[in-house]
Chain A
C-alpha cells in the first residue's frame, strides 16, 4: 500500500500543477458553431425564492437600461462593438409585450455604454470610438445635446457611466492601452491604424522610468522594421528616465465630473484602467468597477482580477503599476508565464493606492452594477454585478470560461457570491453550452421600487482567428424578481 499511496500523492501533486502551459485555453467565446439564440429560464439557476423571465429579445448590442419618472423602461444599443462593427447607437423605449420604440438615434461614434434618467432628460455616455467620447443629454422628444465632447477615449476603452449625484454627472474614461504602452495589440483593436498618434494621458504630472518596448512597426510595410515605444507616448516614440509627462484634464483612466447643465470637467479620481460601471450605494457613496489588465501587448500583465472600488476624491488608484491596490512590479503573481517580471513605468507614485472593496475573477469583465436598496428584494446593501465574461484567448488563456453571470458583493467584507448562473457541469455562456440561458450580461439595474432586477444581456460573441464577431439581434433583457412580488 505504500507504493499506492506514493502513486496517488504523486498524481495529485502533478494534477495540482495543472499542466498550464500544455493546456489549451477554453474561454467562453472559443466555439466553432453558433446556434440561433434560444431563451429558456430553466437553464438559469437562482437562489431559492427568485425567478427570472425574458422581457425583450432581438436587440443589437444592448448595454444599459433606465426608467423614467413614470416607471417606463428604456434601453440603449451601443452602436459599436469590438470587432470594428459600427451601427447606429439608439435609445429605445421598451413597451409592454417587448416591442420597442426608437426615442433617439446617435451618430457613428459609439459605443453608448450607459444611460441614466434625471429630471425629465436622459443622460448617456457616448464611448467615442471615432470622434472621442461625449456626454449627451437627450430630451423626451429625442433632441440630443452634447454636454462635453472630445474626451480622449478613441482607444481600447471608452467613455463610461454616467451617474448623477448632487448636481454633477460622474463618468469614467478608459485608457487607450492595456498597461501604458501603445503596441501591436492596439492595431488589432482597430484604433491604432486610424489614430497613430493617440496614447494615454495622465491626470497629473508624472515622472517616467524611461522603460521602452520594442515591437514590429505595424504602421509600415517594411519587414524587420522595429520601433521602440515608451509609456504615455505615441507608437514609436521613446521616453527617457526622469522624463515628465504633463498632466491634463480630461485624461485617461479617470473618473471625471461636470455640472448637470454642462461645463468644464474636474478630476474626481484617476489611475484606473477601464472604469466601466458606476453606481451609488444606498448611503450615496460612489462605487466603480474596473476592468483590469490583460495578458496581451508589449507589457502583458497576468492574473489581474477586475475590481470594485469605493471612490475617494483626488486619489490615484494604481494603473499602470498596481493591480487592486497591489504592486505588479517584480511580483510573480502578475508576470505572464514564460515572460519576464514587470518593471515600473512610473518613477514615483502620486499616492499609495487604496485597498479594493472586492476583487473579481481574472478576465470576468465585471461591468455594470447596481445596489439592492430594499429588503423586499433581499440582500439589501449588496452590489449586484453583471459579468460579461472572458474574451480568451485574446485577453489571455483561461482554463474554464469566466463570468457570464450575475454575482452579488457584500461591500463590507469583499465576499462575492454567484446570484444568477447557467446550469451545467461547467460555467459558460449559453452559446457554448448550447442552451437558452445567459449569454453576456453587461449591466443590471433595479426598477425604481427596488423589487425587480433587470439584466442587460449583450448577446453572442465568438472569436475566430483573433477576430471578435458579435452577433446582431442576439441581445436581450431579463427580469429577476422574488417569488410573491
Chain B
C-alpha cells in the first residue's frame, strides 16, 4: 500500500510540475493557434462567449488556470453542467450538448496543438 501511495504521490507531483510549466499558451508566448476544423473554430468562439471571462486564454483570472487541467473530459463536462466550488452551472438551455462538445474539442486542441 505504501508503495502504491508513494507512486501515486509521485505521479501527482509530476502532474502538478507539468502543469506549472505550461500555464500560459497564448499567441505571443507559444505561437499562433489556428483551429484545424470548423468545430474547433466554433468551440473557440463559444469558449470566448462562456468561459474566457473567468479563464482568459485558459489562464487564471477570476477563476483558476485551466490550460493544463489534467481532469478527464467527463469531469470537466460535469463541472460545466453542475458547477463545482464557486463555478456556476451552465444548463443545456445555456450551452447545448453540441456546443459543450465543441468547447471541449477546442480546449483539447488549444492544449495540444504544436506551435512555433
B4-33: which have CB < 8 Å to A?
A: 4-5, 7-8, 11-12, 20, 23-24, 26-29, 31-33
A414 lies within 8 A of B48 (CB) = yes
B62 lies within 8 A of A303 (CB) = yes
A18 lies within 8 A of B85 (CB) = yes
- Measured as residues with beta carbon below 8 angstroms from the partner, the interface class of chain A is 35 or more
- B60 CB contacts on chain A under 8 angstroms: 398-400, 426-427
Q: When each residue 17-60 of chain A gets 1 if its CB lies under 8 Å from chain B and 0 otherwise, what string results? A: 11111000000000000000000000001111000000000000
**Smallest CB-CB separation from A414: which chain B residue?**
B48
Cα-based distance from A421 to B57 in the complex (angstroms): 12
A402 lies within 8 A of B56 (CB) = yes
- B57 CB contacts on chain A under 8 angstroms: 417-418
B27 lies within 8 A of A400 (CB) = no
B85 lies within 8 A of A303 (CB) = no
A421 lies within 8 A of B29 (CB) = yes
Interface flag for A13 (CB, 8 Å)? yes
B45 lies within 8 A of A16 (CB) = no
Interface flag for A362 (CB, 8 Å)? yes
**Smallest CB-CB separation from B32: which chain A residue?**
A47
Contacts A4-B8, A12-B71, A47-B32 given; indicate if A361 touches B62 (C-beta within 8 A).
yes
Q: When each residue 453-474 of chain A gets 1 if its CB lies under 8 Å from chain B and 0 otherwise, what string results? A: 0000000000000000000000
Interface flag for A7 (CB, 8 Å)? yes
A358 lies within 8 A of B86 (CB) = no
Contacts A399-B63, A426-B24 given; indicate if A361 touches B84 (C-beta within 8 A).
no
A359 lies within 8 A of B49 (CB) = yes
**Smallest CB-CB separation from B20: which chain A residue?**
A425
B12 lies within 8 A of A8 (CB) = yes
- A333 CB contacts on chain B under 8 angstroms: 88
A417 lies within 8 A of B26 (CB) = yes
Contacts A18-B64, A363-B62, A415-B48 given; indicate if A13 touches B84 (C-beta within 8 A).
yes
B28 lies within 8 A of A400 (CB) = no
- B48 CB contacts on chain A under 8 angstroms: 358-359, 413-416
User: Which has the most chain A C-beta neighbours within 10 Å: B32, B48, B84?
Assistant: B48
Interface flag for A9 (CB, 8 Å)? yes
- A16 CB contacts on chain B under 8 angstroms: 64, 69, 71, 75, 79, 84-85
B1 → A minimal CB distance (Å): 8
Contacts A1-B4, A8-B8, A337-B86 given; indicate if A400 touches B31 (C-beta within 8 A).
no
Interface flag for A309 (CB, 8 Å)? no
Q: When each residue 382-401 of chain A gets 1 if its CB lies under 8 Å from chain B and 0 otherwise, what string results? A: 00000000000000111110
Contacts A11-B12, A21-B86, A423-B29 given; indicate if A364 touches B63 (C-beta within 8 A).
no
- B26 CB contacts on chain A under 8 angstroms: 417-418, 421
**Smallest CB-CB separation from B4: which chain A residue?**
A4
A305 lies within 8 A of B8 (CB) = no
- B62 CB contacts on chain A under 8 angstroms: 303, 361-363, 396-399, 402
**Smallest CB-CB separation from A332: which chain B residue?**
B88
Which residue of the partner chain, among A3, A11, A427, contacts B24 with CB atoms under 8 Å? A427
A302-326: which have CB < 8 Å to B?
A: 303, 305
Which residue of the partner chain, among A46, A48, A402, A413, contacts B61 with CB atoms under 8 Å? A402
A47 → B minimal CB distance (Å): 5
Interface flag for A123 (CB, 8 Å)? no
A175 → B minimal CB distance (Å): 20
Cα-based distance from A397 to B12 in the complex (angstroms): 28
Interface flag for A360 (CB, 8 Å)? yes
B16 → A minimal CB distance (Å): 9
Task: Give me 26 A-to-B residue pairs in the complex whose CB atoms sit less than 8 angstroms apart, sorted by A's number.
Answer: A4-B5, A4-B8, A8-B11, A12-B70, A13-B71, A16-B64, A16-B79, A18-B63, A18-B64, A18-B85, A18-B86, A18-B87, A305-B52, A332-B89, A359-B52, A360-B56, A361-B54, A361-B61, A362-B62, A364-B61, A399-B64, A413-B48, A415-B45, A416-B48, A425-B24, A426-B60
Other than A16-B85, A418-B28, A421-B29, give 19 A-B pairs with Cβ distance below 8 A. Answer: A3-B1, A3-B4, A11-B12, A46-B28, A47-B32, A333-B88, A361-B61, A362-B61, A362-B62, A364-B56, A399-B60, A399-B64, A400-B64, A402-B61, A413-B45, A416-B56, A417-B27, A417-B33, A425-B24
Residues of B within 8 A of A (CB): 1, 4-5, 7-8, 11-12, 20, 23-24, 26-29, 31-33, 41, 44-45, 48-49, 52-54, 56-57, 59-65, 69-71, 75, 79, 83-89, 116
